[in-house]
Structure formats: C-alpha cells, structure tokens
Chains A and B, each alone.
Chain A
Amino acid sequence: MTKKPIQITEVCLRDGSHTVAHQFTVEQVRNVTRALDDAGMHYIEVSHGDGLGGSTVQYGKSLVNEMELIEAAVDECTNSKVAVLLIPGIGTMSELKQAHKLGAKLVRVATHSTEADVSAQHISQARELGMEALGFLMMAHSVPVDKLVEQAKLMESYGAQAVYVTDSAGALLPHQVSERIKALRGSLDIEVGFHAHNNLSLAVANTLAAIEEGATRIDGAVRCLGAGAGNTQTEVLLAVMDRMGMDVGIDLYKMMDLAEDIVGPLIPGTQEIKKGSLALGYAGVYSSFLLHSERAAARFGLDPRDILMELGKMKVVGGQEDMILDVAAELAKKEKVRV
C-alpha cells in the first residue's frame, strides 16, 4: 500500500457534456484541451456524458461524434493524457478500441456500485490493449461500505489499476467519504480514487476528506462544469491543495485563466446550486437526471423536485433516464385525478 503521487483528471469535457446537452464542438474541445495541457493537467476525459456510445435518444444525442472530439483532444495534448469513460451496457469494446486507436490512454470502466462484475470483460481487454484501466463505482452513497469494498475487490481482480468511489448523486457527507476511502485503502493493493458532485456544496470538502484518507486519483471540473451542480471545482481544489502544501505540478494561474476565459463562456446557465441540483443531492439521484427532469417537468406541468424525489424513492440507478418520462407521466396522471 505504498502511496503514489496525486493525479488529477479534468472531467469538464465529459461530465460537462451533460450540462451542455452533449453539444460540444471540435473547436471548444480543442481550446479547452490546449489550455489544460498547457497548464499541466494530468488527464483530460473526453466522451459523451454517459460514456462511449452514450449518444442516444435516452441520454441526448451528441452534436459531434465523440470520436472526433477524442481525436481533436489527443491532437492538442503534448503532456496531458486523454481519458475516456465506458459504461458497460451502454458502450462496448468496439467503441473502446476505436478510442484507443485514436490515442486515448486511460479508460474508466463504470458500473453501479453493486454490479462490478459486468466490467470484467472491459477492464481486462483494456489492459490487453495497453491502456490504463480504472474502475468507477457509481452511486457509491447507495450501498454500505462492506458492499463497496467487495465490489472494488472484484474490479481489482479483473485488472483495474485503481477504483474510484464515485459520488454520482453528490449525496455523500464528508465522514461517509472518509469511511469509504479508508475501507478501500485497507483492502486493496491498487490506488483509490474519488469523484464528487457539488449538489450539497461539499465537493471540495469531500475531496479533501478523500485525499486525507489516501485517495490519489482525483476528479475535478473547471468552473464546476459537470452534471447537476457540477464536480469539484478544479481550480479551487488546486488553490486549496496549494495552501495545504500539496504540489501536483499544475499551474494554478493558468487554470484560473482558462476557467475564466475559455470554460466559463461554455456554460449555458449557471452551475450555482439551485433547487434542482440541491434536490439531486438531497434525494440521492444521479446528477445527469437534472436537465431531463426539468424538461419533463415543463412538458407535464410539474415541479422537477417531485420527479426527483420520486426517482430517489424508486432507487433508480445511473442510466435510467427513461424512468423520468415514465414517472412524470404517472405523476401528471395523478395530478389530473386530484384536480
């Protein structure tokens, strides 16, 4: 269990894909990647928000094929490495091979926190391709610590080089992050990572708790450009880490500049925590459900919070965006009866 240096993965071009309804252009990806590379970012994740193959009616179609975006990002990198996300059941090995061919060096294979065994195929084949392969256990707030450990060990056994505690709903509290990272560090021989969402305004605090317990793979999104209220704000985290005496070799001023000048203008609304994103963290619902719930609420004349709370009760998992329309239509039917 030797401690490795902290490595940051910038996710605004993948998790932020949700926020821009998957409308990133080649030029935007080039500009952001070039600036991140120049600032010394370690990894830059580029994919549809729901990972490779995610461009669908269910999640929203991409304006530009993600393979073109990956190719553009690789082209802009001199030191940074391009990472991709793959959710088995949505994307397949054939998309991963394509991304690898285009120059993606790392893949995070994501499953719900109880379903790690669907990742065996993809993790081992990614290793065979010579890619770094990490496991991503989504909705980590929804399972007890021992379950998370059991699932992380499965991913380790398939060849994962790190396993992430992924707080997809932004629902974890700092002490819950600590106990999860600690338990994983105690049971795995590989690195442990942490991916936060800021729906309860805890992303930086939770990330510090994770680092404190030995997490070395850390995700951030510049300007919180990620689903819901976004992820740990990268430039803020870097400033905090710097003040705590942790140097990860990324230029803070350059990060602040690109956040202001390049990423900021891409954000369609605001990443401020509003009632919708707050309801995600409060109800424990997957962050990418926010915009879909707002759209469904408008379509059926409902309060998006009612939809999100209902989804939380039903324990829907990442990827079940079709439940939003179904739940909204049901709620609308009930409202009609009441009137």
Chain B
Amino acid sequence: MEKIKAAIIGSGNIGTDLMYKLERSDVIELTAVIGIEPESDGLKRAKERGYQAFSTGIQAIIDHPELADIVFDATSAKAHIHHAEVLKKLGKLAIDLTPAAIGPFFSPAVSSDEKSRELDNVNMITCGGQATIPIVHAVNKVADVTYGEIVATISSLSAGPGTRANIDEFTITTRRGIEEVGGADQGKALIILNPADPPILMRDTIYCEVKNMDEKAIQESIENMVETVKEYVPGYRLKQAPLFEGNVVTVFVEVEGAGDYFPEYAGNLDIMTAAATRVAEDFARSMLEKKSLI
C-alpha cells in the first residue's frame, strides 16, 4: 500500500519516541530524523533504524523537500515559530508537538470540525493537555464545565530540556486547550516535576466545576472517554473512581507509556507521540484518498 512520507525535526525525547511509533504506521512512511546535535542519541538511533539522519535542523527540509509531505516538529515553541513559516512556504503539513500553538489544537479523542478544512499546521497542545482535555470534554458534554483545572505531574527524568525551557508555554497552551477543546468556560493548568527514584508514572488530576452535577451521567461519560483514549494509548487509565463534592468533580488518571524510547513511567512522552501519530494518520489517509482520485 502507498504511504505518505514524513520526517521528524527534533531528536530529543519526544522526537525519538515518535520515531518508534511511526515505524508501526501503515499509512505513514518515516524517511528522516532531523536534529542539530550530530552526536545526539536520537540521531544515532535513527541511523541504526535505517532512516536518513541530518544535523542541519530545518535546513535539511529546505535542501531536501522531497523527504516528506508531513513534518513533525518536536523541537521547542520558539524554534517552531520559524519552522512553521518555512514549512508553510514549502507546502508541508506541520504536526507541531511543541506548545507554540500556531495551528488549531487537536486531540484524537475529541472530534474536531477543523479536520475537514485545508490545514498546513496543527498543534498537539501539550502532553498534560492530551492526558486531561478529553476528560474535561467528557464532563463538559453532560454537565457543562464552568471551570476546568488540571495538574500534570511527570517524572523529572522524562522532562527534557525543551520542556523545561518552555514551562510557561506549557501552562498557557494547556489552559487554552482546556477552554478551546475541552469546552470549559475557563481553564487553568499546573505542571509539577517529581524527581522520585524509581520514577513515578505520569499522573494527572482534573478538577471540573460544573453546572449540572449528575454523578451517574458524569461517571459514565468519563469511563467512555477513557476507553476512547485507550485505543491509541493503551496505558491510559483512571487511578480511582471520580470524586464528587459540591459542584466539583475530581478525576485522577495515570498514564503508563508503551516503553518505546523511554521506560513505561514516561506516559507523558507516550501520550503526546501516540496522539500525534493518530492525528497525522488521519491526514495521511485523506491525502491518499485525494491522490487516488486524481
């Protein structure tokens, strides 16, 4: 079967984990991994797996535009602002895994009207957003969320330098995602790094203040949503039953990764790369359909 070509910019934790996810795709063919550090672990692994590896950053795409129709950006919010311009000029679809938030937000678990539109840049929000926004959405659907607040706690080892330098962008982009994709009237996001050894699994707490407190409907909607997310992140689960008090619903989730690049505790990497893969595959399928029509 024909596949759509793709490349990854960024050879850090997220880019490398994504490489392993794309290996298994039946509609996307990964051709290249592009970094800026020739000695980086990610680029070494890319070579080992038989992909082209470049250490020239975005210039690699400019020099070899035939490498990809879809370009995943796993660098940093700052870098993506420049990359987005370049990729747009080259006519590539950018799947942005940084919190730059240039294109519209996507979560595979929440259907979006944007999908039908012609897009050249889509944003994957943040790992904390991918883990929590589906739950906010599920609660909002049945109970109308006036305020959604999420706390994402990740192990220190799984937070690379990009995440650390972009912590403000993380909280701001996640907050916007809670509002725009989750449907909360107002959002707030907190991120905590925990250095415990052995490392903790990614855990997220979601607080929703709601207008219509219908415990049974809310619980059911949350459970359905967990099943939907599990389709692409098998290690996604409720830590325990949701708690209800006054107008506040509290949901605890835990994300165990697939262990592709980082060990299982790094569910934050896993949920981000799995979601990006899922979204990119949807676009790849419609690109293939269009091609077959021509």
Name the residue of chain A whose CB is nearest to the CB of B172: A92
A118 at the interface (CB under 8 A from B): yes
The interface residues of chain A lying within 8 Å CB-to-CB of B165 are 117, 120-121
A326 and B205 contact, Cβ closer than 8 Å, known pairs A90-B190, A120-B165? yes
Verify B191–A89 contact, CB threshold 8 A. Answer: yes
The interface residues of chain B lying within 8 Å CB-to-CB of A120 are 164-165
The interface residues of chain A lying within 8 Å CB-to-CB of B156 are 114-115
Q: How far is the CA of A206 from the CA of B194 in the complex (A)?
A: 27
Most A C-beta atoms less than 10 A away, residue of B151, B153, B156, B192: B192
Verify A322–B194 contact, CB threshold 8 A. Answer: no
Q: Which of A58, A89, A114 contacts B167 (CB 8 A)?
A: A89
* Chain B interface residue bracket vs A: 20 to 34
Verify A88–B248 contact, CB threshold 8 A. Answer: no
Verify B243–A325 contact, CB threshold 8 A. Answer: yes
Q: How far is the CA of A56 from the CA of B248 in the complex (A)?
A: 12
B114 at the interface (CB under 8 A from A): no
**0/1 per residue, A297-339, Cβ < 8 Å to B?**
0010000000000000011110110100110011001000000
| Contacting residues of chain B (136-178) with chain A, CB-CB under 8 angstroms | 147, 149, 151, 153, 156, 161, 164-165, 167-168, 170-172
Q: How far is the CA of A317 from the CA of B191 in the complex (A)?
A: 12
B228 at the interface (CB under 8 A from A): no
A320 and B192 contact, Cβ closer than 8 Å, known pairs A58-B207, A92-B171, A118-B164? yes
The interface residues of chain A lying within 8 Å CB-to-CB of B153 are 320, 322
Q: How far is the CA of A117 from the CA of B195 in the complex (A)?
A: 13
Verify A88–B167 contact, CB threshold 8 A. Answer: yes
B188 at the interface (CB under 8 A from A): yes
Most A C-beta atoms less than 10 A away, residue of B161, B194, B239: B194
Verify B194–A317 contact, CB threshold 8 A. Answer: yes
Q: Which of A92, A314, A322, A330 contacts B205 (CB 8 A)?
A: A322
| Contacting residues of chain A (10-59) with chain B, CB-CB under 8 angstroms | 56-58
Q: How far is the CA of A329 from the CA of B151 in the complex (A)?
A: 18
Verify B193–A315 contact, CB threshold 8 A. Answer: no
A112 at the interface (CB under 8 A from B): yes
Most B C-beta atoms less than 10 A away, residue of A89, A299, A316: A89
Q: Which of A88, A89, A330 contacts B240 (CB 8 A)?
A: A330
A93 at the interface (CB under 8 A from B): yes
The interface residues of chain A lying within 8 Å CB-to-CB of B205 are 58, 322, 325-326
Most A C-beta atoms less than 10 A away, residue of B156, B168, B248, B250: B168
Verify A89–B239 contact, CB threshold 8 A. Answer: no
Name the residue of chain A whose CB is nearest to the CB of B191: A89
Give, as a whole number of angstroms, the nearest-CB distance from B249 to chain A.
10
Q: How far is the CA of A120 from the CA of B164 in the complex (A)?
A: 9
Give, as a whole number of angstroms, the nearest-CB distance from B233 to chain A.
20
Q: How far is the CA of A317 from the CA of B203 in the complex (A)?
A: 14
Verify A57–B194 contact, CB threshold 8 A. Answer: no
Verify B194–A320 contact, CB threshold 8 A. Answer: yes
B73 at the interface (CB under 8 A from A): no
Verify A89–B192 contact, CB threshold 8 A. Answer: yes
Name the residue of chain A whose CB is nearest to the CB of B196: A315
Name the residue of chain B whose CB is nearest to the CB of A119: B167
Q: Which of B151, B195, B243, B245 contacts A115 (CB 8 A)?
A: B195
B264 at the interface (CB under 8 A from A): no
Give, as a whole number of angstroms, the nearest-CB distance from A313 to chain B.
10
Q: Which of B188, B191, B196, B252 contacts A322 (CB 8 A)?
A: B252
Q: How far is the CA of A320 from the CA of B190 in the complex (A)?
A: 10
Give, as a whole number of angstroms, the nearest-CB distance from A7 to chain B.
28
B209 at the interface (CB under 8 A from A): yes
Q: How far is the CA of A47 from the CA of B171 in the complex (A)?
A: 19
Verify B243–A329 contact, CB threshold 8 A. Answer: yes
A326 and B151 contact, Cβ closer than 8 Å, known pairs A58-B190, A112-B193, A121-B165? no
A58 and B168 contact, Cβ closer than 8 Å, known pairs A115-B195, A317-B192? no
Verify B194–A56 contact, CB threshold 8 A. Answer: no
Q: How far is the CA of A291 from the CA of B165 in the complex (A)?
A: 33
The interface residues of chain B lying within 8 Å CB-to-CB of A118 are 164, 167, 193
Give, as a whole number of angstroms, the nearest-CB distance from A258 to chain B.
34
Q: How far is the CA of A317 from the CA of B195 in the complex (A)?
A: 8
The interface residues of chain B lying within 8 Å CB-to-CB of A90 are 171, 190
The interface residues of chain B lying within 8 Å CB-to-CB of A92 are 168, 171-172
Verify A121–B167 contact, CB threshold 8 A. Answer: yes
Verify B171–A322 contact, CB threshold 8 A. Answer: no
Give, as a whole number of angstroms, the nearest-CB distance from B177 to chain A.
15
Name the residue of chain B whose CB is nearest to the CB of A95: B168
Task: Provide 25 A-B residue pairs closer than 8 Å at the C-beta atoms, listed in order of the A residue.
Answer: A56-B188, A58-B151, A58-B205, A88-B168, A89-B167, A89-B191, A89-B192, A92-B172, A93-B168, A114-B156, A120-B165, A121-B168, A122-B168, A315-B194, A316-B194, A317-B192, A317-B194, A317-B195, A320-B194, A322-B151, A325-B205, A325-B243, A325-B250, A326-B205, A326-B240
Give B residues with C-beta under 8 Å from A. Answer: 147, 149, 151, 153, 156, 161, 164-165, 167-168, 170-172, 188, 190-196, 205, 207, 209, 239-240, 243, 245, 248, 250, 252
